[in-house]
Amino acid sequence: MKIRLKNALVLPRAGGEIFRGEVQIEDGKIVYAGKQNDRMFFPADREKDCGGNLLIPGFCNAHAHSAMTLFRGVADDLPLQEWLFDRIFPLEDHLTEEDVYWGTMLAAAEYVRGGVTAAADMYFFPAVAAEVLRRSGIAVALCSGDNDVGGGDVKESLAYMQSRYNTYKGKRRLKYIIGLHAEYTCSDALLEGVADLAATLGAPTYIHCAETLKEVGECSVRRSLTPVEYLHKIGFFDEGGIIAHGTYLDKNDIALLADKNITVASNPSSNLKLASGVAPICSLLKNGVAVALGTDGAASNNALSMFREMYLMSCLQKERMKDAAAVPAEEALRAATETGYKALGFDGGEIAVGRDADLALIDLNAPCMQPLSDIGKSLVYSADTSAVLMTVAGGHIAYENGRFDIGETPEDIYKNAAKCVKRLLKEAERGK
């Protein structure tokens, strides 16, 4: 499939210079990005006049539990413990492959409606999620969220992880990242086992870490080490990787993360809504720790909008630091694009020749984008998903002007997702 996107403004990367021109796509890759050249021969299957609107790199959602869209609106305005233990876990006990199929489909619709072209997805039935997201063209890093809080065989778990890792190894837009749910839901044997596996495979890891004060406090009391110090000590970070959240990190934690080249996937809106806190983004960036952005699951946040995350990443830091100059817009856009891509090891986050064709077309004629005094600032401080006209994921036009091409129709997705939720609620109720 050859696509020509002409008559566009192009923001090639966060903080880059906007130019007027066109982008050509072939076999899912960007083959030209530059001045418009109508004399150039490019036999496009689809030629689109972008009407002077803005092409930007697509967003990477670096921390998500996609199928949790099913639980949007079932447990809001509740204390964290009640939310998780009394509402979410009992529902998840009854999850089937079909639930994950339709929940991830609903997430795919929301992703492409909002310009998301890559995601880290940590959830049940990852093969199902992979298949669903593949149909939208979204690059997906399946992240192991294993734990043995309720028992479980460590060797079996590690063997499963290794086999998954090998299954997906070498694929261009699909990978499996070994890792665990969190320090507080895993035995030492499992945590150390994954650290060893990472060393064996030379593979980075992924884990929820330092999300709440409770987590950090309990670990510190139990181990006389923070979660980051403990994971560092057992070698969990030795091959690099990602921690999700990182809301509570002290100076030493930050130095350890920087030393091991660990990216923090920050989830500002989830951390607010669950009353967890505000991550020390300024300290992380200042000390050389890469910060990516994620939405977390739609049961905790409750939306999959990277616009909201960018706005919050920047503006919560301004308030926290009492400095309106803190985390300028381009830093937030970088976190939402190239930093996430880099952390997941995908080849996007930038509109440049040779990169994967992951991009979004932004409506400069949306009132919130006008006047065009500083488009880069408006992207972060003024826009929301209403400004997304089109999303191209891996060279596939997944969303365009209200139409979705993601493998199922919105009507079928909504109908089936509703059916799944209804059944799950009934089963969770019965299981009490």
Q: Which of residues 289-328 bind a copy of itself (CB under 8 A)?
A: 298, 301-305, 307-308, 311, 314-316, 318-319, 321-326, 328
Laid out side by side, the sheet with 139-143 consists of: 59-64, 116-121, 139-143, 174-182, 205-209, 241-245, 262-266, 291-293
Q: Which residues pair with 46 in a beta bridge?
A: 3
Rounded CA-CA distance 98/412 in Å is: 13
Are residues 23 and 342 in contact, defined by beta-carbon separation less than 8 angstroms?
Answer: no
**Cβ at position 172, least distance to a copy of itself in Å:** 26
365 binds a copy of itself (CB under 8 A): yes
User: Which of 119, 388 has the CB closer to a copy of itself?
Assistant: 388
Among 19, 42, 124, 414, binds a copy of itself (CB under 8 A): 414
367 in contact with a copy of itself (CB under 8 A): yes
46-49 vs 54-57, strand pairing mode: unpaired
Any residues with CB less than 8 A from the CB of 205 and at least 6 apart, and which? 177, 178, 179, 180, 194, 195, 198, 236, 237, 239, 241, 242
Tell me how far, at minimum, the Cβ of 312 lies from a copy of itself, in Å: 8
**Residue/partner pairs of 222-229 with CB below 8 Å, 24 or more apart:** 226/250, 226/252, 226/253, 227/182, 227/183, 227/184, 228/252, 228/253, 228/256, 228/257, 229/253, 229/256
Contact 247, 271 (CB under 8 A): yes
> Interacting stretch for a copy of itself, rule CB under 8 A, among 45-53, 146-154, 232-240, 361-369?
361-369
Q: Is the CB of 26 or the CB of 408 nearer to a copy of itself?
A: 408
Closest CA to 138 of 157, 110, 164: 110
Binding string, 321-360, against a copy of itself, x = CB under 8 A?
xxxxxx-xx-------------------------------
Nearer to a copy of itself, 133 or 316 (CB): 316
Q: Is the omega angle on the peptide bond into residue 371 within 30 degrees of 0, that is, cis?
A: yes
State in angstroms the smallest separation of the CB of 351 from a copy of itself: 21
Which residues inside 50-79 make contact with a copy of itself, applying CB under 8 A?
69-74, 76-79
Q: From its phi and psi, is residue 96 left (phi > 0), alpha (psi between -120 and 50) or beta?
A: beta
Site for a copy of itself in 89-148 (CB under 8 A): 106, 109-110, 113
State in angstroms the smallest separation of the CB of 125 from a copy of itself. 19
Of positions 40, 189, 368, 412, contacts a copy of itself by CB under 8 A? 368
Residue that has been written with the tokens 């350890």 in this structure: 256
Binding test (CB under 8 A) with a copy of itself, winner from 142, 333, 390, 421: 421
**Minimum distance of a copy of itself from residue 298's CB (angstroms):** 7
Sign of CA dihedral 332, 211, 61, 260: positive
> Residues binding a copy of itself: what is the number (CB under 8 A)?
72
Tell me which amino acid residue 224 is: S
Residue 235 near a copy of itself by CB under 8 A: no
| Least distance from a copy of itself to the Cβ atom of residue 80, Å | 5
Within 371-390, which residues bind a copy of itself (CB under 8 A)?
371-375, 377-378, 381-386, 388
The beta strands (E) that lie in 303-379 are given as 359-362
